[in-house]
Amino acid sequence: MRQVIAIGGGGFGRSIGDLLIEKYIIKQCPQLNPKICFIPTATGDDQGYIDNFYKAFDSLGCNTSHINLFKRTFDLRSFILDQDIIYVGGGNTKSMLAVWRDWGLDLILKEAYDKGIIMSGVSAGAICWFDKGITDSWAEHQGTIKCMGFVNGTCCPHYDEEPERIPYVEKILKDGDLNSCLAIEGYAALHLVDDSPKYSISFKTATNCHNVSYIDGSIIHEPINGTIKINL
């Protein structure tokens, strides 16, 4: 079974808190004390972010590790394929993907995904699994970039959290640059199973995932087809 858990915003990167979404991710893994690897490339391997990862997942009984691509780097393929869960942090998606592709990490992650290792992450770590993602990697504007294409669709995180997101999504829909967008609000996550959306998860009151489209002159927000809503 292939799984992606894409988080629109929130989680241990902001505060350790109740770790609701982190516990949900772990529950999807049949292994006791699963091996989970954090990839914080999008922040340039920020040490504070790495520290929060260990605080969060060590407290949940996981076997934790991380990959630092800005120091001497070990054999990535054997290390990644030995994990149960991958968690990708937020930050600059464009820079993250460029570094990954140079190292061949995108191909290794695809092999791991096909093997059944759970792929998860927030913000940059949410959109990277899709065909395309909406990102603020540029300081001046939002943009749409090609991602790794493990699952179909264009994904927008932070949909309700950052004021530039909704206007940008509406613009590219109206301009015909996009037919629809999978929009994930902060403190919400989209759980895909075998390449298809299955669960829309809220880990804070009244947060949602949407399929956003432009039909007959109107922007339409609908539940993502086929998903079951879960409130943590």
Active-site positions? 123, 158
Q: Which of 48, 83, 89, 81 has its CA nearest to residue 64?
A: 83
Residue 209, beta-bridge partner list = 184
Structure tokens at 60: 């949940």
**56 sits in which H/E element:** helix 47-58
In this structure, the number of other CB atoms found within 10 A of the CB of residue 30 comes to: 9
End-to-end CA gap in the chain: 23
In this structure, the number of other CB atoms found within 10 A of the CB of residue 102 comes to: 10
Please say whether the beta carbons of 210 and 223 come within 8 A.
yes
Q: Residue 15: CA atoms inside 13 Å, Cβ hemisphere, count? A: 3
Residue 144, beta-bridge partner list = 134
